[in-house]
Amino acid sequence: MVDHGEAGPVRCNRCKAYMCPYMQFIEGGRRFQCGFCSCVTEVPPQYFQHLDHTGKRVDCYDRPELSLGTYEFLATVDYCKNNKVPEPPAFIFLIDVSYNAVKSGMVNIVCNELKSLLDLLPRENPEMDSVVRVGFVTYNKVLHFYNVKSTLAQPQMLVVSDVSDMFVPLLDGFLVNVNESRQVIESLLEQIPEMFADTRETETVFGPVIQAGLEALKAADCAGKLFVFHTSLPIAEAPGKLKNREDKKLIGTDKEKTQFQPQVGFYNNLAKECVAQGCCVDLFLFPNQYVDVATLGVVPVSTGGSVYKYTYFQAQTDQERFLKDLRRDVQKQVGFDAVMRVRTSTGIRATDFFGSFFMNNTTDVELAGLDCDKAITVEFKHDDKLSEETGALMQCAVLYTSCSGQRRLRVHNMAVNCCSQLADLYRNCETDTIINYFAKYAFRGVANNPTKAVRDTLVNQCAQILACYRKNCASPSSAGQLILPECMKLLPVYLNCVMKSDVLLPGADVSLDDRAYLRQLIGCMDVADTHVFFYPRLLPVMKLESGSLPVALRDSEERLSKGGIYLMETGLHLFLWVGASVQQELLLNIFGTPSFSQIDPNMISLPVLDNPFSQRLREIIDSFRAQRSRYMKLMVVKQEDRTELIFKHFLVEDKSASGGASYVDFLCHMHKEIRQLLS
Amino acid sequence: MSTYQEFIQQNEDRDGVRFSWNLWPSSRLEATRLVVPVSCLFTPLKERPSLPPVQYEPVLCSRANCKAVLNPLCQVDFRAKIWACNFCFQRNPFPPSYAGISEVNQPAELMPQFSTIEYIVQRGPSAPLIFLYVVDTCLEEEDLQALKESLQMSLSLLPPNALVGLITFGRMVQVHELTCEGIAKSYVFRGTKDLSAKQIQEMLGLTKPTAPGQQGHPVAPQEAAASCRFLQPVHRVDMNLTDLLGELQRDPWPVSQGKRPLRSTGVALSVAVGLLEGAFPNTGARVMLFIGGPPTQGPGMVVGDELKIPIRSWHDIQKDNARHLKKATKYYEALANRSAVNGHSIDIYACALDQTGLLEMKCLSNLTGGHIVMGDSFNTSLFKQTFQRVFSKDHNGDFRMAFGGVMEVKTSREVKVCGAIGPCVSLHSKGSSVSENEMGIGGTNQWKLCSLDHSTTLGVYFEVVNQHNAPVPQGGRGAIQFVTMYQHSNTKKRIRVTTIARNWADAQSQIQHIESSFDQEAAAVLMARLGVFRAESEEGPDVLRWLDRQLIRLCQKFGQFNKEDPTSFRLSESLSLYPQFMFHLRRSPFLQVFNNSPDESSYYRHHFVRQDLTQSLIMIQPILYSYSFHGPPEPVLLDSSSILPDRILLMDTFFQLVIYHGETIAQWRKAGYQEMPEYENFKQLLQAPLDDAQEILQTRFPMPRYIDTEHGGSQARFLLSKVNPSQTHNNLYAWGQETGAPILTDDVSLQVFMDHLKKLAVSSSS
């Protein structure tokens, strides 16, 4: 953290790049030359420092911005909206209290959980109380705002039924400090489930709910985050009303893409407004049927929020997953009202961005909110010659408001070497990153192009890459031989996984909502996430050693043995596959029962048994869970059981039920493509 | 009956009726020549402790377009058990329940002393009374506190089964739900959006998802009552509401410097009217609006929130500079009409130092029979006591208020009804007795009075339609029947029937008789009402000219004079005071807008067209009492010559009570003589007007403004502006050292006025 006081961060005069290790100090330290645009800028007097004999500043290693790749500046008022120091952000909880929501137990769980969760609001200094203010809204066809002012004996409910023209009915007492209003809030959370226990209202609205939160933040003049707990397709008469449009018949046709586009333009505009205010929306869905994730997700995705989906939510089995997710979501470090800008040295240019954000122009990535679980993929293109001596520089600067209301700038710097030989390029590529990019690129494409065209493009591009290598780098060999660069030897297998994913190749049992959900989810995954998502991690857990994990297996049924137990992690799910003839001792160690038939396939966690094996297995599971931003529910799959179908779906090297090619088939296909290109 | 004076008094006491003429000219032509129309002031619910209501239903004439009620003027054939309607001459058999009647066993409605009779109707559901408080929260802390206390107090005055509701407003409008335990629930509306009744009901969740077959059936009131969460019986929500009122906060939205708070009065009223309309159509209800400033946003906005733009004045209005006036007036008129259709009345309690937009909102009360009360602050006894008096009870322990009144006028065929002026709306019922000639609210013989009390008085105007060449048979009488149906405050339906008759007279041969039957007090008030009614739509000077012309014509008709000789002009006793009334009326705030804000004018006019004759006369010509050592207190002329140094004056203008200490008295008081035992009589003298004033304060609604002033005091202007300026700075020295106080004015004095009138009356040219 760097604080330059009143003057703010030192920047290049022309390209406005921030001070970084790539700035060259000249003329005895009086000026510096920008590494990005080569412009020479005066060093401000208070920043002046002498240079040593190597031309480095004497204080080089005392200053993070001169020695580190990533650091933060404290921004000055000039970097704030309307030149005003931002107010601390606010969290608003908007809870669906329609019949479905109450019946599924969601309302009860949320209200209960919030009581303790409010103590865990994000803060920078663990010693201090969080400055984040909170507000509460419940809704079905109408919205109920709550006045939880600390001076009240009882919370007050304000019903707004004018959903066509949303407004916030109160100013004072809606957003409050948790500690000051604790009693009122607790009384409120106590009463909400009671109040709506007998509700018969089944219709809900959605657009006005977000509008309400947005208006509240506007009224309070602060950024913030909305937590929306929603159950059903919003069919009540209101802006943003939706209808059921799921149509399986469209799959595979040219019209399929429309199913990924939002139904109405309303949410796009709403998202724009949200971004302008720094209003990030997190959506928790508890659908029993089609809710149109593609449309509802527009606002969360554009505002840097997340969508969580708990289909057929049941308090008993899904509570843990939901609560873990919610806890993490509420507690994690967040920034608001952010703008990201990527600067590069001449020769390359950032041309495209993938992730959960909104862009008004081609260079500024605007995020109403962002958190530690969101990744943004940036595409760079050559637009000029690069020289091997200077390499290429990239600087990514994110201006944001921290959860304590401080305006900050986070700067990431990166320099890469340039090469003139293609072979060098192929030697230094990273397949996981390429897959991440391809997946995001393809998933974005399905909203605009027929799915088949997207798939063909993928194969084509991959073939191009490999053919190019074959043509230019590989040592001459027979035309029939498939030659892959060392770094890309896994490209075909991974690509096949992308192609087989539910988004691009849906099985009969995959709903449109699921596809839309996954599509949005991938959008903000980082490389590690996409890797495990497309190529799940499969571990044999017959023998466990402390300190190290077993070696992962390839995702193919051939690798499973009847006598083995395997743990599979996809980033969203966790499976424990149990072979039909596993040793009784092993079963006893894990499940506490020696009989295969007595294993309960509905268990959501392994029994806690006091033996090293059970302990270690649970340890592994916990460590997996800790690595992922979303809680993975454990599913025990018994060989030859009904549920095995689901598990098999993730054995991505095999032929899938939905018609996805096996690895071998795909490799052959790819080979054919390459040969075609070469000839 | 010896004199007309007594006759008039007797009639007023019995029937609550005062006619301008108590002998009616027998032809249309003669009637128009009398200048003052045949008309009456009628107090439908005049308090009659000696009149026990009868517990059965009235007997109606069987003719479909007549349906007059059996009354003492009907010819009855006791043997045949048949009665003849005195309006349409239809012969009707008595109903079976009257089988036992005979000359000696007459039902009450046939006895002459029961020309006014009240029936209690048993049929129909009895709906509870409904009070809906609509409270402005953009008040000063102190004002809001006082208002809250008043409202809390009022809950204890309501009957336990009455339904109450609460709407508060500032920038937003909040409808409070009263049933819920724990969390206080309220529905919020944006203050800038005009919503239809249907939308409001939908948003409040009042429209029930009715089964398809059920649609169109109106919901019975009881059913609606059970379902309406916003209006609940007092006994059930007493505590809840008291707490709710107690927790009521000032509007929390910040008001920046140089701005008025945003006050959504228009939407609040619209919600109130919509709520009642949906839940309780056609039952008695009272919307009580409490405001501390003008509506500043949304529909019905009277002035913008910029403080630098002041609220409209008469000057702006005359120059057509009042931006919001027309739109706001139209908005409130539409609301008032909707409310009137459903029989809900709207009271306005406006307490602010500046104007609050009464001019625009007056129709809400005027059309629905609601009260308007105007004060400086909710924290004054003027408001507090007035508000308390709204809930005052009569000797039976019933509220002095009635709801949903419908007054119907039936006339014998020589007379037709032209219209009525008062807190009523037309029901557009065109019977045979309706004249084409409209005066006031005409074109109907039925009017709705959404709320009325014992003093509510209508001016009803008639027309003699008998042609000149078809004389009325000797001894014939013209008859008029007033049938007033209303919901008594004990929720029972009642019908009061007043049947009156007056003799016909031939205007040519019996002009002296007609002249002596003239009720100049009633005539003055009735003419004044016509004038005020005109002033609402016409320019002030036009109205004055019209009044003058009527007066001159009346003097020409009845004055005795030699042509072109002003000194010979004489008026008979029955007309002698009339010109003086007109003189004061011309100077009154009802017709003069100078020195009054538009709100004040509206307020004064509002009360003028609803009070009974005595009060109206006080408003036209205030009463002045003089207290001195020279004798007992006496009424003195409302003249500047009555202002003497050694007198204490008490002036009652209905709206103000002024106690004025003459110069000497004021000096004595300042010197503290009243404290000294030897000047005990001075102390008593000072006390006398205070006691008298107290007596007036006790009974009057609304509470008058109480002013205690002295010679040279700034508040003395209230007195000086009312008295006849017989001595002004113009003629003081010419008159030498007369007693009295000169008034600095250019207004003409009564003497000048009279001289001028005489000159015009005797002139042959006009």
Contact A157 B184 (CB under 8 A): yes
Best CA proximity match to A298, nearest among A447, A451, A111: A447
Q: Which two tokens stand for residue B400?
A: 């002095």
Q: How far, CA to CA in Å, does A535 sit from each of A375, A635, A671, B458?
A: 19, 18, 21, 91
Question: Is residue A55 very low, low, confident or very high in pLDDT (cuts 50, 70, 90)?
Answer: confident
Secondary structure element (H or E) that encloses residue A637, with its range: strand A633-638
pLDDT of residue B225: 46
Query: Ranked by mean pLDDT, which of A394-408, A570-584, B327-341 comes out on top?
Result: B327-341
pLDDT of residue B227: 53
Residue B201: closest C-alpha in chain A: A161
Phi first, then psi, for residue B705 (nearest 5°) are -75, 130
Chain B residues within 8 Å of chain A (Cβ atoms): 172, 174, 177, 180, 182-190, 193, 195, 199, 202-205, 247, 252-254
pLDDT of residue A470: 84
Angle between helices B663-671 and B680-699 (to 10 degrees): 110
Question: Residues of chain A with pLDDT > 70: what percent?
Answer: 100
Which DSSP state fits A18? B
> pTM, whole model, 2 decimals?
0.85
Amino acid symbol at A567: L
Long-range contacts of B31-35 (CB under 8 A, 24+ apart): B31/B463, B31/B464, B31/B507, B33/B507, B33/B557, B34/B507, B34/B514, B34/B557, B35/B550, B35/B553, B35/B554, B35/B557
Residue B354, min C-alpha distance to chain A (Å): 28
On whether ipTM exceeds 0.90, the answer is no
Contact B183 A155 (CB under 8 A): yes
Query: Looking at beta carbons, which residues of chain A come within 8 Å of B179?
Result: none
- Average pLDDT in the A477-484 region? 77
Best CA proximity match to B481, nearest among B120, B109, B32: B109
Angle between helices A431-445 and A527-534 (to 10 degrees): 80
Which DSSP state fits B469? T
pLDDT of residue B224: 46
d(CA A475, CA A459): 24
Query: Looking at beta carbons, which residues of chain A come within 8 Å of B252?
Result: 170-173
Query: Looking at beta carbons, which residues of chain A come within 8 Å of B174?
Result: 158, 169
Chain B CB within 8 Å of residue A171 CB: yes
Question: Is residue A185 very low, low, confident or very high in pLDDT (cuts 50, 70, 90)?
Answer: very high
Closest by Cβ to B193, choosing from A145, A154, A165: A165
Query: Looking at beta carbons, which residues of chain B come within 8 Å of A151?
Result: none
CA angle B515, B516, B517 (to 5 degrees): 90
pLDDT of residue B1: 43
Residue A185: closest C-alpha in chain B: B183
**A–B interface: beta-carbon pairs under 8 A:** 65
Contact B183 A167 (CB under 8 A): no
Query: Looking at beta carbons, which residues of chain B come within 8 Å of A172?
Result: 252
A281 by DSSP, 3-state: which?
strand
Contact A171 B184 (CB under 8 A): no
Residue A168, min C-alpha distance to chain B (Å): 9
Is B34 exposed, middle or buried, given 0-12, 13-18 or 19+ CB atoms closer than 10 A? buried
Query: Looking at beta carbons, which residues of chain B come within 8 Å of A185?
Result: none
pLDDT of residue B740: 63
Residue A220: closest C-alpha in chain B: B253
d(CA B235, CA B164): 10
Closest by Cβ to A165, choosing from B188, B190, B252: B190
Torsion-angle region of B258 (φ positive above 0: left; ψ -120 to 50: alpha; else: beta): left
d(CA B587, CA B607): 17
pLDDT of residue B396: 80
Closest by Cβ to A162, choosing from B186, B193, B253: B193
Best residue in B187, B192, B193, B201 for a mutation probing chain A (most A CBs within 10 Å):
B187
Contact B188 A169 (CB under 8 A): yes
pLDDT beyond 50 at A357: yes
List pLDDT tens digits, range A365-395: 898 888 888 889 999 998 888 888 888 899 9
User: What does the H/E/C string look like for B119-143?
Assistant: EEECCCCCCCCEEEEEEECCCCHHH
pLDDT of residue A440: 92
Which DSSP state fits A511? -
Best residue in A138, A170, A176, A188 for a mutation probing chain B (most B CBs within 10 Å):
A170
Burial B486-497 (b: 16+ CB within 10 A, else e): bbbbebebbbbb
Burial B193-208 (b: 16+ CB within 10 A, else e): bebebebbbbbbbbee
Q: Are B588 and B619 in contact (CB under 8 A)?
A: yes
Say if strands A334-344 and A364-371 run parallel, antiparallel, or are unpaired.
antiparallel
Which DSSP state fits A550? P
Chain B CB within 8 Å of residue A157 CB: yes
Chain B CB within 8 Å of residue A164 CB: no
Residue A195, min C-alpha distance to chain B (Å): 9
Q: What is the CA radius of gyration of chain A?
A: 27
Question: In sequence order, which ranges of A524-662 are alpha helices (DSSP H)?
Answer: 527-534, 584-591, 612-627, 644-649
Residue A142: closest C-alpha in chain B: B203
Return the higher-pLDDT residue of A226 and B538: A226
The gap between the terminal CA atoms of chain A, to the nearest Å, is: 57
Residue B173: closest C-alpha in chain A: A169
- Average pLDDT in the A585-592 region? 88
pLDDT of residue A649: 87
Query: Looking at beta carbons, which residues of chain A come within 8 Å of B187?
Result: 158-161
Q: How far, CA to CA in Å, does A384 sit from each of A233, A270, A421, A559, B49?
A: 50, 39, 17, 49, 106
Closest by Cβ to B204, choosing from A145, A161, A172: A161
d(CA B203, CA A141): 10
pLDDT of residue B180: 64
Closest by Cβ to B183, choosing from A161, A173, A191: A191
Query: Looking at beta carbons, which residues of chain B come within 8 Å of A188?
Result: 183
Residue A163, min C-alpha distance to chain B (Å): 9
d(CA B556, CA B571): 10
Chain B CB within 8 Å of residue A222 CB: no
d(CA A63, CA B54): 102
- Average pLDDT in the A449-462 region? 89
Which residue ranges of chain B lie beneath pLDDT 70?
1-2, 124, 180-181, 207-227, 473-475, 731-741, 765-766
Contact B183 A188 (CB under 8 A): yes
Chain B CB within 8 Å of residue A161 CB: yes
pLDDT beyond 90 at A200: no
d(CA B442, CA B432): 13
Q: Which two tokens stand for residue A307?
A: 């969508």
Q: Give the neighbor-by-neighbor strand order of the sheet with B82-84.
A: B75-77, B82-84, B91-93
d(CA B313, CA B355): 9
Closest by Cβ to B186, choosing from A159, A171, A187: A159
Q: Are B364 and B332 in contact (CB under 8 A)?
A: yes
Question: Is residue A79 very low, low, confident or very high in pLDDT (cuts 50, 70, 90)?
Answer: confident
Residue A212, min C-alpha distance to chain B (Å): 13
Best CA proximity match to B297, nearest among B264, B274, B335: B264
Q: Which two tokens stand for residue A347?
A: 């020769």
pLDDT of residue B89: 86
A572 by DSSP, 3-state: which?
coil
Report the range of poorest mean pLDDT among A423-437, A538-552, B221-235, B271-285: B221-235
A611 by DSSP, 3-state: which?
coil
DSSP per residue, B658-690? EEEE-HHHHHHHHHTGGGSGGGHHHHHHHHHHH
Residue A98, min C-alpha distance to chain B (Å): 15
Residue B190: closest C-alpha in chain A: A167
Query: Looking at beta carbons, which residues of chain B come within 8 Å of A170?
Result: 172, 188, 252
Contact A157 B185 (CB under 8 A): yes
Best CA proximity match to A92, nearest among A234, A3, A242, A211: A211
Contact A142 B203 (CB under 8 A): yes
Q: What is chain B's length?
A: 766
Chain B CB within 8 Å of residue A160 CB: yes
Query: Looking at beta carbons, which residues of chain A come within 8 Å of B205?
Result: 142, 161
Contact B190 A171 (CB under 8 A): no
